[in-house]
Amino acid sequence: MRTQEQPGIEAYKASGFMGKEQELVRKVVLPYQQDVLQDKAGTEKSHVYDNYRNAAAALRGEDTRDGFYGMVFQDSDAAKWLEAAAYSLGVCPDRGLEAACDELIALISAAQDKDGYLNTRFTISDRDKRWTNLLEGHEMYCSGHMFEAGAAYYEATGKRTLLDVCLKNAEHIYNRFVKDATEGYPGHPEIELALMKLYRASGEKRCLELAEHFINVRGVDPDYYRKECESRDWTVWGGKGDNPDYQQSGKPVREQTEASGHSVRAAYLYTAMADLAAETGDESLLKACRRLWDSITQRRMYVTGGIGSTVHGEAFWADYDLPSDTAYAETCASIGLMFFAYRMLQNECDSRYADVMEQAFYNTVLSGMALDGKSFFYVNPLETVLGISGIAPTHKHTLPTRPGWYACACCPPNVARTVMSIGKYAYGESSDTAFCHLYAAGEVSFRNGIRFTCETDYPYGLTVIYRIRKGGRLAVRIPQWSRKTRISLNDFSAEYETDRGYAYLSVKDGDELILSLDGEPRYVYASRRIAGLTGKMCVCRGPLVYCMEGADNGGTVLGLRLTGGKITETSAEGLPGVIALKADACRIGDLEKLYSQDKPAEQAATATLVPYYCRANRGETDMKVWS
Amino acid sequence: MRTQEQPGIEAYKASGFMGKEQELVRKVVLPYQQDVLQDKAGTEKSHVYDNYRNAAAALRGEDTRDGFYGMVFQDSDAAKWLEAAAYSLGVCPDRGLEAACDELIALISAAQDKDGYLNTRFTISDRDKRWTNLLEGHEMYCSGHMFEAGAAYYEATGKRTLLDVCLKNAEHIYNRFVKDATEGYPGHPEIELALMKLYRASGEKRCLELAEHFINVRGVDPDYYRKECESRDWTVWGGKGDNPDYQQSGKPVREQTEASGHSVRAAYLYTAMADLAAETGDESLLKACRRLWDSITQRRMYVTGGIGSTVHGEAFWADYDLPSDTAYAETCASIGLMFFAYRMLQNECDSRYADVMEQAFYNTVLSGMALDGKSFFYVNPLETVLGISGIAPTHKHTLPTRPGWYACACCPPNVARTVMSIGKYAYGESSDTAFCHLYAAGEVSFRNGIRFTCETDYPYGLTVIYRIRKGGRLAVRIPQWSRKTRISLNDFSAEYETDRGYAYLSVKDGDELILSLDGEPRYVYASRRIAGLTGKMCVCRGPLVYCMEGADNGGTVLGLRLTGGKITETSAEGLPGVIALKADACRIGDLEKLYSQDKPAEQAATATLVPYYCRANRGETDMKVWS
């Protein structure tokens, strides 16, 4: 079944849209986030650097000064930043950044206990509570993120310091849970997918074994967390462990059929399951992954690739429960969905995975970051109503504008690391084939020898030119949304085979392969099972979902409704380089009364739409995707 | 300004629709609720009778057996039942019921402390905590409901026992808060409107003075409750008193401009303000009432007359925040809105008040009770989606079927007392005029001497015949929804003057006055400011709002949408005597996918609609008002 022997490719040097996104992350986001972590940015207090310093002091038996500050998973902010920085160094060497990474890595190393344990929260103040609260403690979550950083930094720089810290920490965890057979598994899955990366970077088989162990024991005793809660006298948030589906432990993973619970946890777990299935050829695991994929993408996903519709527990809930205005749709959850898609592509090259990966990236993931890289959304609703969104008790989470940072700062560094490693998602390879999942401009080289330059203005330009430097077999995705697709090779119509949404063809050195995708804006309709969307439509073009904002529509989108007519291209003030759209619409007049027998006047209007990811970049304005 | 010197009329003997509703309450609801209060109905434990027995034991210094059980306001269930029973005795003498009332009144009397204090919760277990938690303790709320019962029982039977208990309790409260000038006012307004009733029933001026006192001191110190919280070491629900708008104490009442906070508290407070304004001619109070009325009815009310849109605190929130599927719209809040409307009518006879009173009664209030009188809704959403409503964390409160009773059982007895006293809302009088606010069939006599029989099949038959027994001046409401209204007197077109939605005319003994209202079903549209209702419509006929249920529409209303065409009358299975409607609609086909570029097929269809108050009487089915 495996289509890719080794996930990832040799190198991707981005240009075009991806290049600009990466440049934004390199030049703005990474330095900004580094300042935040050191409490130099004047935003929400982070204390991450100081947490490491104070943990090291604790280990030396010295005064821990101002102790630990932050969420129980505060360490992961450092790890995600380091991981993003590592990817950045991989594509664009930067001595200053590397030195900053080394400095932070030194702090981290010094905070590691002799036995390999690594977590500032428990090292500074509660050493006796280590490993007693797997449900809420996030120790393995933090380890997992550090493993991802360690693997990435080693791959980017060849430096082993952080990798060795991670291996020592992994060994500590392995000894506890595998060798000594201590019961339990992580409350927030993450370490499993990270162990797979650490295994691949280091070759250490125990990492693979530990990942497999956690996946196999999960949910075998659905009552594990409840018993854990009863056995200790403290909690982080008062969790009782009585809702096992919340952390995907209600059943053994191979028996799970519906995406459930906290959506980031779910996506991270399914990612690891898919990765392990690809690594080991475990068919039963792959079958479970396919079922869970269908559960998400066929019944529980927003058109923007957002998942986890309810604010209560940032969670999946019921099929077709996809409200626009109270959507949670966390940025990190869509990043997790990209991870899951990418690992499913390792198992079977099918465009349904890459289509969703693209949908999530260009819409919800990019929506998480302002166009200037300086503010971030955690929550991505499909409708914002001024005076209600961000204010009403039911809508407190759907802020109309992006804050600079969050106390729970998982999303901003998650976007940064995803953008900086986008080449891994855009391209894949097997021994004889180069896979083009996304249309990411830049120079790409594969371990199998194939090399090409991809030229495109994607996602706005729908033509993609592959100039082949070193030929071989290509598999180019044809997205399901493209109704008119042409592939030409050196100016002639190309002959190719298609399999599950990919065009397979062989190219030679010097060939020019041109993929022309459907650039027509299109209306998209929802299943009537999503009760709130009956009779509504939205507009998409290429991979982009569009929305209306008050900013382009006379100050408000209230009463503005698409009518399904012609759509043309235009531009929008304050969004240079962005293709906006104009669509036939009608505007319902403002009634004087709350309710009336008189049908309100409907006036023909033109709605201006902008890409959803560009929303909320021009001050406080209302917004809607569906109308 | 006053249009009615004394609220209420001499007598109303219901027939027709109101007669049947009252019969249901008399024969089913009152006996059932009496069983519930005595824990004989096999529903949620009530313990109300036992609470009184145990409180009396406590006062005698005896063992309090199983102590107090229930909500802090459990006593009010007894009071509301007694009040409903009193109204029932007023219209239909019943020795058995009267004996049952006397028995309960004896229990209540025995539970009153020597100093007049009356509350089982604090008498049984926490006598030292009396009056220390006005924010949450509901002592005055329970007293208020008992005052309403005491006044009603005295008026119905002439028996003074409960009235005297109430007067003694009122004196206790008067002494504490007026004579001894103790700081504070009730966290849940109710006693104010009840004191007005007790004043009218007893002539005791101190009741009026106490009502006025509580209204005048409210919100003068917005920080009162926070300070109260700090001064004690216990709470009921952890309230901190830091959100004064929640209990309408953020400003002095005369300065309040927006309906805010807990919607039942708000409606009860505004009711008392309007009543006091009518009693004392206080213009500044009346002005505040008008502003608050507009805030509710022009910006914060569902088309069903439901108010308090958010489940968070059962509260008013922002203008135009009126979601259909997560609506709270508590039954009791709409009862409170009827109270408020009725008291505004005392100040100024304007159909805008009576129109809303009718809208609330025939839709949300009656929706609170099943057609068989045996189960009750607390929450009245305008859309029910199977698999989501009542289940999803955001929709836990919007149950798709009515439970038999609730732990917090405020709504069921509230519906009962409203139905049994509907004559007071339907009719009013001044020294020379009889006001016909609602079209309630039956025999009506006024203190001013006017008497007539009202014959009508209202709300289904839109013709109302007044056969005049004793003539005088009538004021008959012409509802705003009626576009074709005819009034004839003895077969000739009547001559009348209209003033603020009422037709004024004089009638003689033996006259037959016929009011013909518009019986055409009509579409109603919402302001575009209610974001979720853009492009939608609903159907009304007479005072009734209609909804679609899956039960009449092929099992589900998913994808079913009104198109604004012809509406005809029909019947619905399982709803005998009910005029159902058929309207042109289209049904959107079920997509195989969650989202699609292919516009889903739309098939012309006929939607069957039933009155909203009849919803959820035929098993679990989906429902929507707007489409």
Q: Give the per-residue pLDDT at A1.
A: 32
Using alpha carbons only, what angle is made at residue B277 by residues B275 and B280, rounded to the nearest 5 degrees?
105
> Rounded to the nearest 5°, which phi and psi values hold at B14?
-75, 145
In this predicted structure, what is the pLDDT of residue B99?
A: 97
Q: Inform me whether the C-beta atom of residue B523 falls under 8 Å from chain A C-beta atoms.
A: yes
CB A474 within 8 A of CB A519: no
A479 to chain B, minimum CA–CA distance in Å?
Answer: 13
* Chain-chain contact of A298 with B564 (C-beta, under 8 angstroms): no
Q: Which of A359, A394, A590 to mutate to test the interface with B (most CBs of B within 10 A)?
A: A394
pLDDT band at B455 (very low <50, low <70, confident <90, very high): very high
The 8-class DSSP code of residue A569 comes to: E
* Chain A stretch 302-321, residues whose beta carbon is closer than 8 A to a beta carbon of chain B: 303, 310-313, 315, 317-321
**Out of B207, B410, B411, B614, which one is annotated catalytic?**
B410
Regarding predicted confidence, which is higher, A366 or B91?
A366
Q: Do A394 and B326 touch (CB under 8 A)?
A: yes
pLDDT on residue A45:
86
**Active site (annotated) includes residue B383:** no
B288-291 long-range Cβ contacts below 8 angstroms, 24+ apart: B288/B253, B288/B254, B288/B255, B288/B256, B288/B257, B289/B340, B289/B344, B289/B347, B290/B344, B291/B256, B291/B257
**Is the per-residue pLDDT at A3 higher than 50?**
no
| H or E stretch covering A439 | none
Which residues in chain A touch residue B383, judged by CB atoms under 8 angstroms apart?
A: 531
Contacts of A526 in chain B (CB under 8 A): 591, 594-595
Instruction: Give the residue on B whose Cα is nearest the Cα of A481.
Output: B597
The 10s digit of each residue's pLDDT in A393-405 is 999 999 999 987 6
Report chain B's mean pLDDT, rounded to a whole number: 95
CA angle, corner A445, sides to A440 and A450, nearest 5? 110
CA distance B156 to chain A (A): 40
Tell me if B529 and A297 make a contact (CB, 8 A cut-off). no
Average pLDDT of A409-425? 90
pLDDT tens for residues A526-539?
A: 999 999 999 999 99
- B326 to chain A: which residues are within 8 Å by CB? 326, 394
- B250 min Cα distance to partner chain A (Å): 18
- What amino acid occupies position B415? V
Inter-chain residue contact A531 with B320, CB threshold 8 Å? no
Cα B478 to Cα B350: distance, rounded to the nearest angstrom = 10
Is the pLDDT confidence value at A44 over 90? no
For A520, name the nearest residue in chain B, comparing CA atoms only: B597
Query: Helix-strand-coil percent breakdown of chain A, rounded to 5?
Result: 40, 20, 40
ipTM of the prediction greater than 0.85, yes or no: yes
Read off the pLDDT band of A408 (50, 70, 90).
low
Residue of B nearest to A327 (CA): B394
Give A607 to chain B, closest Cα distance, Å.
15
Strand order in the sheet with B512-516: B11-14, B442-445, B451-456, B463-470, B512-516, B486-489, B492-493
Cα Rg of chain B, angstroms: 24
Helix, strand and coil in chain B, % to nearest 5: 40, 20, 40
B41 in contact with chain A, both atoms CB, cutoff 8 A:
no
The 10s digit of each residue's pLDDT in A308-335 is: 999 999 999 899 999 999 999 999 999 9
What kind of fold does domain A427-516 have according to CATH? Immunoglobulin-like (2.60.40)
Write out pLDDT tens, residues B574-606: 999 999 999 999 999 988 899 999 999 999 999
Across the interface, whether the CB atoms of A392 and B564 are under 8 A apart is answered no
| Alpha helices in B133-254, H assignment, sequence order | 139-157, 161-174, 191-202, 205-217, 224-230
- CB–CB of A125/A174 below 8 Å? no
The amino acid occupying position B477 is R
Q: DSSP assignment of A260-303, as one string?
A: -EEHHHHHHHHHHHHHHHHHHT-HHHHHHHHHHHHHHHHHSB-T
Residue with tokens 């109101």: B18
CA-to-CA distance for A12 and A15, rounded, in angstroms? Answer: 9
Contact of B238 with chain A, judged by CB distance below 8 Å, is answered with no
DSSP annotation string for B40-70: -SSSS---HHHHHHHHHHHHTT---TT---S
Phi, psi of B74 (to 5 degrees): -60, -35
Distance, CA of B88 to chain centre: 17
Task: Write out chain A residues lying below 8 Å of B385, CB-based.
Answer: 531
Looking at every residue in chain A, the average pLDDT score rounds to 95
Which tokens in the block code for residue A455?
A: 């030229």
Q: Which residues of A touch B591 (CB under 8 A)?
A: 525-528
Residue B418: which of B337, B305, B311, B307 has the closest Cα?
Answer: B337
**Residue B299 is encoded by which pair of tokens?**
């910006």
Listed residue (A396, A382, A472, A489) closest to A427, CA to CA? A472
pLDDT recorded at residue B17? 98
Check residue B5 and give its pLDDT.
43
pLDDT, residue A5, reads 43
Q: Could you say which residues from 326 to 345 on chain A have a Cβ atom under 8 Å away from some Cβ of chain B? A: 326
Q: Which amino acid is at A555?
A: G
Q: Do B561 and A535 touch (CB under 8 A)?
A: yes
Tell me which of B595, B596, B624, B626 to substitute to probe the interface with A (most A C-beta atoms closer than 10 Å).
B595
To the question of pTM greater than 0.90 for the whole model, the response is: yes
CATH class of the B430-516 domain in this structure: mainly beta
Q: Do A596 and B321 touch (CB under 8 A)?
A: no
Q: Is B71 on the interface with A (CB under 8 A)?
A: no
Res B31: pLDDT? 93
Local confidence band at B58 (pLDDT 50, 70, 90 cut-offs): very high
- pLDDT value at B225 more than 90: yes
Residues of A annotated catalytic, as ranges? 314, 410
Q: Which of residues 557-616 of A touch B (CB under 8 A)?
A: 558-561, 564, 588-591, 593-600
| Catalytic residue (choose from B190, B204, B258, B314) | B314
Contact B298 A593 (CB under 8 A): yes
Find out whether B382 and B625 touch, Cβ atoms under 8 Å.
yes
**Nearest residue on chain B to A594, judged by CA atoms?**
B527
Nearest CA in chain B to A325: B532
Instruction: Dump pLDDT digits (tens) for B307-329.
Output: 999 999 999 989 999 999 999 99
Report how far residue B380's alpha carbon sits from residue B371's, in angstroms, rounded to the nearest whole number: 15
B299 in reach of chain A (CB within 8 A):
yes
Q: Is A294 on the interface with B (CB under 8 A)?
A: no
Any CB–CB contact under 8 A between A297 and chain B?
yes
**Is A317 in Cβ contact with B534 (below 8 Å)?**
no
Reduced to 3 states, what is the DSSP secondary structure of residue B470?
Answer: strand
On the question of pLDDT at B44 being above 90, the answer is no
Q: Closest Cα of chain B to A550: distance in Å?
A: 13
Q: Residue B94 burial (CB < 10 Å; 0-12/13-18/19+)?
A: middle
Closest CA to B608 of B627, B584, B582: B582
Cα–Cα distance, A141 to A78 (Å, whole number): 13
Phi then psi for B65, rounded to 5 degrees? Answer: 45, -120
CB A319 within 8 A of CB A300: yes
What pLDDT score was predicted for residue A8? 67
pLDDT tens for each residue of A328-363: 999 999 999 999 999 999 999 999 999 999 999 999
The band of B486, judged by pLDDT with boundaries at 50, 70 and 90, is very high
Across B350-501, the runs of DSSP E, i.e. the strands, are 383-384, 427-429, 433-436, 442-445, 451-456, 463-470, 472-477, 486-489, 492-493, 497-499
Cβ–Cβ of B590/A319 closer than 8 Å? no
Bridge-partner residues for A561, per DSSP?
A586
Give the model's pLDDT for residue A515: 98
Which string of b and e fits B395-424 if b means at least 16 CB within 10 Å? bebbbbbbeebeeebbbbbbbbbbbbbbbb
pLDDT band at B362 (very low <50, low <70, confident <90, very high): very high
Spell out which residues of chain A touch residue B392, defining contact as CB-CB under 8 Å.
310, 317-318, 321
Amino acid at A179: K
**Exposure string over B455-484, b if 16+ CB within 10 A, otherwise e:** bbebbbbbebbbbbebbbbbbbbbbebbee
Tens of pLDDT along B327-336? 999 999 999 9
CB contact under 8 A, B523 and A597: yes
DSSP state of A173: H
pLDDT tens profile B144-199: 999 999 999 999 999 999 999 999 999 999 999 999 999 999 999 999 999 999 99
What was the pLDDT predicted at A7?
55
Residue B554: CB partners within 8 Å, gap ≥ 6?
Answer: none
Residues B448-458 have a mean pLDDT of 97
Residue B324, number of CB atoms within 10 A of its CB: 27
Looking up tokens 């392990």 gives A276
Please say if B520 is a catalytic residue. no
Residue A43 contacts B, CB cutoff 8 Å:
no
Query: For an interface test with B, which of A295, A528, A547, A624 has the most B Cβ atoms less than 10 Å from its Cβ?
Result: A528
Average pLDDT over residues A153-166: 97
In terms of CA atoms, which chain B residue is nearest residue A597? Answer: B524
Q: What is the per-residue burial (b if ≥16 Cβ within 10 Å, else e) of A602-624? A: eeebbbbbbbbbbbbbbeebbbb
Chain B positions in Cβ-Cβ contact with residue A525 (cut-off 8 Å): 591, 595-600
**Min distance B558 CA to chain A CA atoms (Å):** 6
Q: Do the Cβ atoms of A525 and B559 come within 8 Å?
A: no
Please give the pLDDT value at position A43: 76
A and B: number of Cβ contacts within 8 A = 171
Percent of chain A with pLDDT over 70: 98
The token pair that represents A197 in the structure block: 């990366």
Beta carbons within 10 angstroms of residue B233's beta carbon? 8
**What residues of chain A, 529 to 548, have a C-beta less than 8 Å from chain B?**
529-532, 534-535, 537
How far is CA B411 from each of CA A476, B39, B50, B181, rounded to the nearest angstrom?
Answer: 63, 18, 21, 34
- Which of A217, A240, A238 has the alpha carbon at shortest distance from A72? A238
State the CB neighbour count (10 A cutoff) for residue A257.
Answer: 11
A417 touches A80 (CB < 8 A): yes
d(CA A185, CA A212) in angstroms, rounded, equals 11
Domain ranges of chain A: 272-420, 427-516, 522-624
Instruction: Pick the residue from chain A with its C-alpha nearest to B483.
Output: A597
Interchain contact, B590 vs A387, CB within 8 Å: no
